[in-house]
Amino acid sequence: MELLKKRILDEGKALSENVLKVDSFLNHGVDAKLMYEIGTEFKNYFEKHNVTKIFTIESSGIAPTVMTAMQMELPMVTLKKQSSKILNGEVYQTTVHSFTKSLDYQLTLSKKYISEDDNILIIDDFLANGEAALGAIRLVEEAGAKVAGIGIVIEKSFQPGRKLLEDKGYDIYSLARIKKLGKDLIEFI
């Protein structure tokens, strides 16, 4: 997606060979018009996948997921990164390791938001090592539902996430695929 790539080049900051900061338009400040265009791209790609619901992981994936859900006229569900005392065990949970933050967290899905008949589209802001996506997949499949595909806003293609997910048979659609990062260097595939 050329508009997204331009924003990454104009406003993104490569802090190292693994860290890309895009907080001015994706995950702190949010450019609603850009998110709408991102939603359009995901809708156009996934509209023939018989999606019944769209899932994301809190919090940076929420904006592009909302726009996609609106355009596809589908329900959206946010997977929580911590347990809730009010869910009373009516949840699916899995442990996910965040390499960015160097910690483990419990990814949580309330059982009332998924059924065996669902065909879930998972959308996330970044794909690097694939841990977050795999955690979401585990929750969907534990519920007996299917994964229709995975939409990624920005993929760090030099990390193993895409290959890991593709080797397991998942359809991955990334809007911006980064080949290389370095201090003040951003190269796309």
Q: Which residues are annotated as a binding site for xanthine?
A: 20, 27, 156
For residues 64 and 173, the answer to whether their CB atoms sit within 8 Å is no
Q: How far apart are CA 142 and CA 181, in angstroms?
A: 35
| Residue 110: its H or E element | strand 103-110
Q: Nearest to residue 68, comparing CAs of 107, 122, 18, 108?
A: 122
Instruction: At 9, give phi and psi (nearest 5°).
Output: -70, -40
Binding residues: 20, 27, 128-132, 156
Complete DSSP assignment for 37-52: HHHHHHHHHHTTS---
Binding residues for 5-phospho-alpha-D-ribose 1-diphosphate: 128-132
Tokens of 164: 């890991």
> Strand, coil or helix: what is 140?
helix
Q: How far apart are CA 140 and CA 53, in angstroms?
A: 11
Q: How far apart are CA 35 and CA 50, in angstroms?
A: 22
